[in-house]
Structure 1
Amino acid sequence: MAGRVLDVTAYTTLDLVEAATRGDGWREEGCAVLDVRSLADDPDTVVLDFEPDPTSVDRVEPHAHSVSLTADQARSLVEALEDAIEAEGSDRPRRLRS
């Protein structure tokens, strides 16, 4: 990805995922980087970093998003991901599914 914000290395969790950037009345699809890391000075915090490929999104400047989770929040996310890939699917309301 040209002009990226995040460093992509051999240690990056997912260096190429399908993604969409949405706004009011528009949607652009392309690839993105999704990384999971912990902080050296706070190992109980898990950080998710997400960056849409700047060459596939014309409506926004190159940027990345980071979400900091506690260990319990990260475990809840793992459970939600596992539920979503089960044969019966997610129990979330249909409007919240993509």
Structure 2
Amino acid sequence: MMRRQLDVTAYTTFDHVDARATGDGWTDEAVAVLDVESPRDERTVTLGLELDPVELEHLEPHADTVPLTPGQARVLAAELESAADAAESGEAMTSGRR
């Protein structure tokens, strides 16, 4: 059995989301774990994503993590809110970065 890179617990933000990894001429689709946490004694918010290694054809088992400052996490949260609003109303949305 392959070892998971991200721990999946009752506290994992999303333990089953559909995910896609795309490379030059290939795409892997798999169930994934998406987790947000703020580790104790660190002043960061960590966003982590791991695609189920059993379903991957092109990628080696791994997890991607992005450490964010609290300010960056708030910008991301605002962008997610805007994208959710656009998706619900059927509008297209691109990055809010100016």
Q: For the superposition of Structure 1 and Structure 2, which TM-score range results when normalised by the shorter chain?
A: 0.7 to 0.9
Contact 1:83 1:89 in 2 (8 A): no
Q: When you count strand as a share of all residues, which structure comes out higher?
A: 1
Decide whether the 8 Å contact of 1:83 with 1:90 is kept in 2. Answer: no
* Residues 49-60 of structure 1 mapped to structure 2, 5 A cutoff: 49-60=48-59
Q: TM-score, normalised by structure 1?
A: 0.85
Aligned equivalents of 1:46 and 1:31: distance in 2? Answer: 23
Matches within 5 A, 1:18-57: 18-42=18-42, 44-57=43-56
Question: How far apart, in 2, do the equivalents of 1:85 and 1:60 lie?
Answer: 29
Structure with more helix by fraction: 2
SS of aligned partner of 1:55: helix
Distance in 1 between residues matched to 2:68 and 2:9, nearest whole Å:
22
CA distance in 1, matches of 2:93, 2:17: 24
Per the alignment, do residues 63 and 21 of structure 1 end up closer, same or farther by CA in structure 2, a change over 3 Å counting? same
Which runs of 5 or more residues in structure 1 are unaligned?
A: 94-98
Q: RMSD of the TM alignment (CA)? A: 1.7
Taking the aligned partners of 2:32 and 2:52, their CA distance within structure 1 comes to 5
Give the whole-Å Cα distance in 2 for the aligned partners of 1:64 and 1:51.
4
Report the number of matched residues. Answer: 92
Q: Percent identity?
A: 49
Q: Distance in 2 between matches of 1:69 and 1:89?
A: 28
Q: Which runs of 5+ in 2 are unaligned?
A: none
2-structure distance, mates of 1:70, 1:35: 16
- In the alignment, which residue of structure 2 is the partner of 1:71? 70
CA drift at 1:28: 1.2
Report the Cα distance in structure 1 between the residues aligned to 2:22 and 2:90, rounded to whole angstroms: 28
